[in-house]
Amino acid sequence: MTVAIGVLVVILLLVFLSGARVINEYENGVIFRLGRYTGLKRAGFRWIIPFVERLVVVDLRTVTRDVPPQDVITRDNVSVKVSAVVYFRVMQADRAVLQVEDYLYATSQLAQTTLRAILGQVELDELLSQRDRINQELQKVLDAHTGPWGIKVSNVEVKHIDIPADMQRAIARQAEAERERRAKIIAAEGEHQAAEKLAMAADVMSENPATMQLRYLQTLVEISTGGHTVIPLPIDLLREASAMLQGGAGGPSKPKIAPASASAPVIGQGE
């Protein structure tokens, strides 16, 4: 009798231990009773009926999955290799188990196909310069497809873009040409501003002749500092010389012929 009771106690203990489960704080347990979904189990100690109930534990933490390099042909027919990383987490454990066979594998495959589809609609320049917008578009598309599975895609980042060598050289030449264009524009703007300032200075000097004298003296000082010999000339003299040159610019002066006087000898043909 005692042996039978001991055997029964051992059997009951084994049955109890076989049904004992511990669910962590970051997990949820999906319960199936004879193959039928019956509910969720939260964190803590849980006991299920052995051989009758089955517990599927689902991790609720954010999962990081690398998207392998994908061969992508952009809209402008450039072949590149693009890799990315996807961040997602399970929001509804029951749907992640009931709606898809393996939500990790399914999300990874969906990320690969979506990456090729979205990047095939953009040009190479957009892929290089508008990466944030492309990441947001990838996240929205993936989140819309994984929503029925109870999965939330929080972020998608394009990690690496492998560009062919000939295209890299073309991009380098384009960047160099763009820098040269900006340098020429800046130089032209500087010359334009300098010309405006010179015109303003000329207007001020024309209104006040004393400023011309001061500028003339300053120029003499600057020239003499270089070890050159300077012979100062009055500006009035320069102005008179300029007036004479301008007066003579009308053409060569004709010699004046004095009228013949009565006393002047007249040379006749008979002489």
Compute the chain's Rg from CA coordinates. Answer: 47
Which token pair is 257? 């012929």
Instruction: Label residue 185 exposed, middle or buried (CB < 10 Å: 0-12, 13-18, 19+).
Output: exposed
Q: Report percent pLDDT > 70 for the chain.
A: 77
Task: Report the residue count for the chain.
Answer: 271
pLDDT at 270 over 50: no
Mean pLDDT score across all residues of the chain:
80
Beta-carbon contacts of 42 under 8 Å, excluding residues fewer than 6 positions away, are 23, 28, 29
- pLDDT of 228: 59
- What's residue 169's pLDDT? 75
Model pTM? 0.62
Per residue in 209-250, pLDDT (tens digit) is 667 666 666 776 777 676 656 565 565 656 666 677 776 555
Query: Of residues 167 and 260, which shows the higher confidence score?
Result: 167
Closest listed residue to residue 120, CA positions, set 141, 105, 143 = 141
Residue pLDDT, tens place only, 182-211: 888 998 888 888 888 878 877 776 777 667
What pLDDT does 96 receive? 93
Confidence of residue 62 (pLDDT cuts 50, 70, 90): very high
Q: What is the model's pLDDT at position 256? A: 45
Confidence at residue 196, expressed as pLDDT on a 0 to 100 scale: 84
pLDDT reported for residue 255: 46
Residue 268 clears pLDDT 80, i.e. is over it: no
Q: Which two tokens stand for residue 49?
A: 């009926």
Distance CA 35, CA 53 (A): 8
Tokens 């954010």 belong to residue: 62
User: Does 63-163 carry CATH code 3.40.50.620?
Assistant: no
Task: Give the per-residue pLDDT at 213.
Answer: 67
Confidence of residue 139 (pLDDT cuts 50, 70, 90): very high
Contact 149, 96 (CB under 8 A): yes
SS3 sequence, the chain?
CHHHHHHHHHHHHHHHHHHEEEECCCEEEEEEECCEEEEEECCEEEECCCCCEEEEEEECCCEEEEEEEEEEECCCCCEEEEEEEEEEEECCHHHHHHCCCCHHHHHHHHHHHHHHHHHCCCCHHHHHHCHHHHHHHHHHHHHHHHHHHCEEEEEEEEEEEECCHHHHHHHHHHHHHHHHHHHHHHHHHHHHHHHHHHHHHHHHHHHCHHHHHHHHHHHHHHHHCCCCCCCCCCHHHHHHHHHHHHHHHHCCCCCCCCCCCCCCCCCCCCC
Q: Using one digit for the tens of pLDDT, what is the confidence trace for 158-176?
A: 988 888 777 767 777 777 7
Identify the CA nearest to 149 among candidates 53, 58, 268, 85. 58
What pLDDT sits at residue 95?
A: 93
Q: Of 107-121, 228-242, 257-271, which range is least confident?
A: 257-271
| Top-confidence residue, 18 or 254 | 18
The answer to which of 21-35, 124-138, 229-243 has the lowest mean pLDDT is: 229-243
Per-residue pLDDT at 86 exceeds 50: yes
Question: Residue 173: phi, psi to the nearest 5?
Answer: -65, -40
Note the pLDDT tens digit of each residue in 2-14: 888 888 888 888 8
- Residue type at 93 in one-letter notation: A
Q: Which residues pair with 162 in a beta bridge?
A: 81
